[in-house]
Structure 1
Amino acid sequence: MKIKVKITISFLLFICIVSLGFRSNAGFISDELFRNYDFSGTNSLYVKIDSGLKIHWITQVQDNGYFELSRRDKGVITKGFTESSRVHSVNLRTKLKQDLILKFGGENEGMHEVVLKKPETDLKTVYKNINSIYVVGDVHGRYPELINLLQKSKVIDKDLSWIAGEAHLVFLGDLFDRGAQVTKVLWFIYQLEDQAKAAGGKVHLVLGNHEIMTMTKDLRYLNTKEKNIAIGHKVTYDQMFHPQNSLLGLWLSGKPSVLKIDQFIFAHGGIVDLGTFTLNSFNEAVNYYMKDPMYLELTREFPDSTKYDVERWYRMRDFFYYENGPYWYRGYVLQDTLDVQLDAMLKKYKSKVHIVAHTTRKTITKKYDGKLLTTDLDDAATELLFIKRKKRSAETFKIDSNGLVSPLE
């Protein structure tokens, strides 16, 4: 009898826990899924693009959702409410043929605003005569640390607005994984690009191995909070960054994998030999491959020979996952005997200094008599590299999270 009572009580407790869940546009989802995390605003924004815009967001508390879509110069296109919930979505027939202003949120939570930019590919690879360059290594979803670092370095102000004038800011990949605010980091950089451009500056995003991993369904390092965003929206996490069907994914797939600014050549891991005569040819190949549906299947154990050309599948996988490729290579940082290899690469691509991330160090460092600069840190997003051009030479510094500027020794 006592056993029966215990079973009955346990069953009632289970019913009570389930009843604490909430009904959303995505169905019944336990409130436990969103406990202890901030999902408001761009923390959870997912914009799908195909025949129109499908906008998904999560409010911090159960709330009536509100959205408004407008043109910069012609006022509101559409606006409305979603039912009381925490997970919200709305399908709009509007296509993104021009920049649109999206306001979204909840009646009680308040509104958030982002500019949804007309998708375009930005594969320009070579820039010249740039006076100041800021370089940030792997961020890995550490939004507060990144914001603090950029503010202390006088790249953005307290309102997160660009104040670096005509300077260039380079993110050297690996925005994804490990940290809890990857999505918010991505939307921040997405918005900062336009502010920098308006001031005559430039924000660059160079793709890293974790961008490739996420889009090709390798989610081993995905943070629980980020995973819960996708669960709330009833999609897999990689779908939120699909290179053709999501706004952020399309934006990412149009970014370069290698970059050159004056005498400096950038890659996430490191360049041995790209197999192309020009950097631009490599970036074009990346963009071309990312448009192929086979790209999304590269982390399968074996190719599906009924769907894809097997030889092409292996060739594409090697292109993105080769250990000596620019997303993965660690040799220059881990070894001190690769002068000949580094010199040959710099000569081929007409550069003097290689700047990389991917392989962590305690601090930003110089190697190979200053021909290699490393930017990935044990404590991510707590230092950045600052380069100041001086006539025909350049001075290099590191700036830490307290704003301390130190010459790079």
Structure 2
Amino acid sequence: MNLRTLAPVWLALVCACAHGEPREVAPWQWEGVERIVAVGDLHGDYEQYMKVLRSAGLVNARGKWTGGETHLVQTGDVPDRGPDTRRIIDHLADLKEQAERKGGRVHTLIGNHEAMNSYGDVRYVHPGEFEAFRGRDSKRLQQLQWEHYLSRLKQVRPEAFLTMDLDKHRAEWERKVPLGWVEHRLAWAPEGEYGQWVLSNPVIVRVNDTLFLHGGIGPAYCHLGIEEINRRAHAELRAYDPETRGVIDDEHGPLWYRGLATENEATFGPVLAQILERYGASRIVVGHTPTGGVVWPRFNGRVVVNDTGIAAYYGGHDAYLEIRPDGVFAGYGELKLPLPRGEVERLDYLRAVIELDPENGELKKLLSETQSPATGDEVQAGAETDEATGEPAVADHADAVSPGICQ
């Protein structure tokens, strides 16, 4: 046996073990990843999406992957509110292939807006999203849809149909069902191109010791494992039942839950500890709840709220999260700031972010609230009215201190 020949091989193996080769240890669970970049809600804004990827060093000026072995995690809500959803998804699908050829990965998660588009809730679809599907056959498809609509109308409202001004009604209908609407709905159906894309994505992933999902995980669903949450979500999307609340549409479920972004940090801490232990994680990264432009750590860094408002609709903020062996960082354009853990450091960090955007009133409000927190429920600066219920987004306290809550 030639020990001199074996030595380089042995050294290479030692080096690989020391650094930990990236590997998928279970479905949607990765270990040994050296660099993770997390990007929050995009809401149909391609230019802002590309700007953030370039700032993070993941793509070049032509949009091609330059991230090497980096794992990019996009935490959902690509569609709605902006016109470029189709363009972003097509680019993400292409980028995923490019990254894998270089040893990296692109994880695109299901957010509540992906689910809504899949099961037919188009309240937040931007007109430009329908326009992106408009083609030479759109007029014919729209006419067929109109005829189908009239047929249904005759059945359910026969008396009203007889006295209806059809020309006026048609004009109103076309505002809701413009050219491209039919193609959009076919594409987002479970068997359609973008419906299939949604079904290829998970709701939740773990990369190293960080759990990523769109809304959050709370007492109502933390008894389920990663594989089971993803399995249920896919099953519900394939055969959606509006009468039964589940993973994809329950306000306490992982696509909608805001508790990690809004709960009182002092009182909810014990529950969070159980959730982290359940998933073998040291932190959870979520989107869904807008922060007004800051990558916002909560619970001493054990939660990171990362819906920074990238899209112009939410302010056009260039911000992302980066996790490396030497620390956790927030990227703002070309500047990177270490993500703080303690309360004093968090205030200093927020002041530094405000210096980058001194006219940002939402961040000034967040600073004021963080310096003088109210008792009881905390509501994150920039938090939306909950789209599932129409009520203010305040967290659920059910069984907040019960032991074994995630069993």
Query: TM-score, with normalisation over the residues of structure 2?
Result: 0.61
Q: Tell me the equivalent position of 2:118.
A: 215
5+ long unaligned stretches in structure 1: 1-122, 299-313
Instruction: Quote the offset at 1:275 in angstroms.
Output: 5.6
In structure 1, C-alpha distance between the alignment counterparts of 2:249 and 2:235, rounded to whole Å:
16
Deviations 1:6-56 (A, max 9, x none): xxxxxxxxxxxxxxxxxxxxxxxxxxxxxxxxxxxxxxxxxxxxxxxxxxx
5+ long unaligned stretches in structure 2: 1-25, 142-181, 312-316, 341-407
Q: Tell me the equivalent position of 1:329.
A: 257
Structural mapping, 1:282-293, within 5 Å: 282-292=229-239
Decide whether the 8 Å contact of 2:33 with 2:207 is kept in 1. Answer: yes
Secondary structure at 1:355 match in 2: strand
Decide whether the 8 Å contact of 1:276 with 1:282 is kept in 2. Answer: no
In structure 1, C-alpha distance between the alignment counterparts of 2:48 and 2:36, rounded to whole Å:
19
Aligned partner of 1:398: which letter? A
| % identical aligned pairs | 27
Q: Structure 1's 277 and 359: CA in aligned 2 closer, same or farther, altered over 3 A?
A: closer
Decide whether the 8 Å contact of 1:243 with 1:253 is kept in 2. Answer: yes
Q: Structure 1's 128 and 379: CA in aligned 2 closer, same or farther, altered over 3 A?
A: closer
| Greater strand proportion | 1
Q: Tell me the equivalent position of 2:289.
A: 359
Structural mapping, 1:9-408, within 5 Å: 124-230=27-133, 232=135, 233=138, 234=141, 235=182, 237-244=184-191, 246-273=192-219, 274=221, 276-292=223-239, 295=240, 298=242, 314-315=243-244, 317-336=245-264, 337-362=267-292, 363-380=294-311, 382-390=318-326, 395-400=327-332, 402-408=333-339
Instruction: Quote the offset at 1:379 in angstroms.
Output: 4.5
Q: Tell me the equivalent position of 1:96.
A: none
The count of residues paired between Structure 1 and Structure 2 equals 262
Instruction: Quote the offset at 1:242 in angstroms.
Output: 1.5
Decide whether the 8 Å contact of 1:167 with 1:202 is kept in 2. Answer: yes
Instruction: Quote the offset at 1:125 in angstroms.
Output: 1.4
Query: TM-score, with normalisation over the residues of structure 1?
Result: 0.61
Pick 1 or 2: higher relative contact order, CA cutoff 8 A, min separation 6.
2
Aligned partner of 2:320: which letter? L
In structure 2, C-alpha distance between the alignment counterparts of 1:287 and 1:276, rounded to whole Å:
18
Which stretches of structure 1, 4 residues or longer, exceed 3 Å deviation after superposition?
Answer: 229-234, 378-381
Q: CA RMSD in A?
A: 1.7
In structure 2, C-alpha distance between the alignment counterparts of 1:218 and 1:236, rounded to whole Å:
15
In structure 2, C-alpha distance between the alignment counterparts of 1:369 and 1:275, rounded to whole Å:
21
Aligned partner of 2:233: which letter? V
Decide whether the 8 Å contact of 2:296 with 2:306 is kept in 1. Answer: yes
In structure 2, C-alpha distance between the alignment counterparts of 1:263 and 1:275, rounded to whole Å:
16
In structure 2, C-alpha distance between the alignment counterparts of 1:378 and 1:325, rounded to whole Å:
22
Decide whether the 8 Å contact of 1:399 with 1:406 is kept in 2. Answer: yes
Instruction: Quote the offset at 1:228 in angstroms.
Output: 2.5
